[in-house]
Amino acid sequence: MICIGCHLSTAEGYAAMGRTMKRMGGSTFAWFTRNPRGGFTRQEDPQDLEELRSFLAEEGFGPLVAHASYTMNLCSSSPKTRANGLDMLKKDMEKMEKLPDNLYNFHPGAHTGQGLETGIAMIAQALNQVLRPDMHTTVLLETMAGKGTEIGGCFEELRAIMDRVHCGDRIGVCLDTCHVWDAGYDLVNDLDGVLQHFDRVIGLERLKAVHFNDSRNDRGSRKDRHEKLGRGKIGMEAMKRIALHPALAGRPLILETPNDEEGYTGEIHTVLGWMEESGKPVF
């Protein structure tokens, strides 16, 4: 079972994103909770949110995957940056509770020279200030390429954060295929081994979503450059194996490839075609 979609703009509202994705052929989507390169956020219309909730239920969509701003860094060496990041996290979670039972994804952050252990502790501390057992949103740590001082370039670093978070059932992982490839995990020749490693370190039950992207770079480059499906170093056959892998069944696949709406629609239908050929059900 699979649901697939891509990032959409909130410019025309939330319900419009649902209608757009249905027209494109998908059954999930992602959006930025605020400007991805800044802090601006727009006020939601309660009627618009209610319309989206009804639409998702009627159309049988899978979980949605919101994305935090890239500027949210919970482990920066700058107290001001950390405080701004914590404020973003709090406000974003308030937003997400208006669309309950969906997913909120963020880049763990960069420790900016403080050291890995300090950065991990700061991220967990921020999450512990915000997460509550009664929340209806699952927060996802994204796997990263490992460039610079960013945290999350290996599964063990994400597990170290999760072990320090008190509301453990409110925390999971989004696996980005481009990022893990760029971090050095061999999705082409050893997909089973990578997923088994993830299961040993974190547990596949914690893997809640996949950012489904090819990569412009060789494995282990630690550069984080996304590419269209089949146009990169992972390649179409490996991307197909990932999409069809039984360990990933039921997780929303979110495309973040460098595309316009027409390109995303084509990639969505490519993946749906793989499902049809394999006989696997789709949402």
pLDDT tens, position by position, 204-218: 999 999 999 999 999
What's the confidence (pLDDT) of residue 1?
A: 65
- Residue 139 structural domain: 3-278
Q: Which region among 108-122, 194-208, 267-281 has the lowest average model confidence (pLDDT)?
A: 267-281
Which residue did the predictor score with more confidence, 28 or 40?
28
Q: Taking 60 as the threshold, does the pLDDT of residue 283 lie above it?
A: no
Name the 3-class secondary structure at 4: strand
Indicate the residue type of 191.
Answer: L
Q: How far is CA 179 from the centre of its chain?
A: 11
Quick check: is 188 in a domain?
yes
Quick check: is 273 in a domain?
yes
Lookup result for tokens 């089949």: 230
What's the confidence (pLDDT) of residue 174?
A: 98
* 135 closest CA partner among 163, 107, 171: 171
Quick check: is 218 in a domain?
yes
Q: Which two tokens stand for residue 25?
A: 């052929």
Q: What is the pLDDT of residues 133-146, one digit of tens each?
A: 999 999 999 999 99
Name the 3-class secondary structure at 174: strand
Q: What's the CATH number where 115 sits? A: 3.20.20.150
Average of pLDDT values for 56-64? Answer: 96
What's the confidence (pLDDT) of residue 282?
A: 61
Q: Taking 90 as the threshold, does the pLDDT of residue 39 lie above it?
A: no
The pair phi, psi for residue 119, each rounded to 5°, is -60, -45
In sequence order, the 6+-apart residues with CB closer than 8 A to the CB of 223 are 145, 147, 182, 216, 217
Name the 3-class secondary structure at 1: coil
Lookup result for tokens 């269209």: 228
pLDDT above 70 as % of the chain: 97
Quick check: is 120 in a domain?
yes
Q: How far is CA 41 from the centre of its chain?
A: 19
Q: What is the pLDDT of residues 190-204, one digit of tens each?
A: 999 999 999 999 999
Q: Taking 80 as the threshold, does the pLDDT of residue 42 lie above it?
A: no
What's the confidence (pLDDT) of residue 168?
A: 87
Which residue did the predictor score with more confidence, 37 or 88?
88
What's the confidence (pLDDT) of residue 40?
A: 65
Q: Taking 70 as the threshold, does the pLDDT of residue 280 lie above it?
A: no
Mean of the per-residue pLDDT values of the chain: 95
pLDDT above 90 as % of the chain: 91
Quick check: is 283 in a domain?
no
Q: Taking 70 as the threshold, does the pLDDT of residue 5 lie above it?
A: yes
What's the confidence (pLDDT) of residue 33?
A: 94
DSSP code of residue 205: G
Q: Quick one: angle between helices 116-130 and 155-163, nearest 10?
A: 50
Q: Taking 70 as the threshold, does the pLDDT of residue 225 lie above it?
A: yes
Average of pLDDT values for 4-15? Answer: 96
Q: What is the pLDDT of residues 160-172, one digit of tens each?
A: 999 999 998 999 9
Q: Taking 80 as the threshold, does the pLDDT of residue 279 lie above it?
A: no
Q: How far is CA 160 from CA 44, 117, 151, in A?
A: 35, 9, 10
**Domain total in the chain:** 1
Name the 3-class secondary structure at 168: helix
Where residue 245 falls among pLDDT bands split at 50, 70, 90?
A: very high
What's the confidence (pLDDT) of residue 36?
A: 77
Quick check: is 38 in a domain?
yes
Quick check: is 20 in a domain?
yes
Q: Are 239 and 230 in contact (CB under 8 A)?
A: yes
Half-sphere CA count of 282, side-chain side, radius 13 A? 22
Q: Which region among 5-14, 33-42, 46-55, 241-250 has the lowest average model confidence (pLDDT)?
A: 33-42
